[in-house]
Structure 1
Amino acid sequence: MEEKFYTYMVRCADGSLYTGWTTDLEKRIRAHNGEIKGGAKYTRGRRPVTLVWSTAFSRKQDAQSMEQQVKRMERSQKDALIAASCDIIK
């Protein structure tokens, strides 16, 4: 089985967004929520967090590149990305 690398966004309890990358989405969200050790310093004081967007890559470098692209986006662009992914799920 080929390893996948994910770029993701979570919405924090205060409404802010946090973007990161990981190889295990479920475990990373649990870490951000304090259920297991780890998580980002940014999200520790803003729990709980909810996964609102993610995309998968076969290469780590692609996931990291996407993370940087998303972090450079304006809030309205991030909201549009989240809304577009919700439309796909429906």
Structure 2
Amino acid sequence: MNNWFLYLIRCKNGSLYTGITIDVERRFEEHERNDKKGSKYLRGKAPLKLVLKKRVGDKSSALKVEAKVKKLPKIKKELLVDGKIKMREIKKEI
């Protein structure tokens, strides 16, 4: 299955949360509801805004890309959100 997505959510404090899923809209709603299915990191950081959604392939690829993006400094994540760094550049480094 090649329908895994990497997504980034901006919190009210400007921080960026990185995650992967096969259903970005559902996952974002879980985060917004602030229930047990949402990320603990995002609790109390609303309003949330989905700022990036990119298809990254199968689950294995998604996990690798997520780990790589999580390690990026915030400035590079911002460049990714702005489209100044392409996802293929990040996948190429894995």
Q: TM-score range by the shorter chain?
A: 0.7 to 0.9
Q: Provide the secondary structure at the position in 2 that maps to 1:44.
A: coil
How far did 1:3 drift?
Answer: 5.5
How far did 1:58 drift?
Answer: 3.0
Q: Provide the secondary structure at the position in 2 that maps to 1:27.
A: helix
Aligned residues with identical type, % of pairs: 36
How far did 1:57 drift?
Answer: 2.8
1:13 matched to 2:15? The reply is: no
Name the TM-score, length of structure 2 as normaliser. Answer: 0.80
Residue identity opposite 1:31 in structure 2 = E
Name the TM-score, length of structure 1 as normaliser. Answer: 0.84
Indicate the structure with greater helix content.
1
Aligned residues: 84
Q: Which residue of 1 is the match for residue 72 of structure 2?
A: 73
Residue identity opposite 2:59 in structure 1 = K
Q: Which residue of 2 is the match for residue 54 of structure 1?
A: 53
Q: Which runs of 4+ in 1 moved over 6 A?
A: none
How far did 1:49 drift?
Answer: 1.1
- CA separation in 1, counterparts of 2:78 and 2:43? 22
- CA separation in 1, counterparts of 2:34 and 2:44? 14
Q: Provide the secondary structure at the position in 2 that maps to 1:9.
A: strand
Q: Which runs of 5+ in 1 are unaligned?
A: 86-90
Q: Which runs of 5+ in 2 are unaligned?
A: 85-94
Q: Provide the secondary structure at the position in 2 that maps to 1:41.
A: coil
Task: Please say if residues 5 and 63 of structure 1, whose CA atoms lie closer than 8 Å, have aligned partners that are also in contact.
Answer: yes
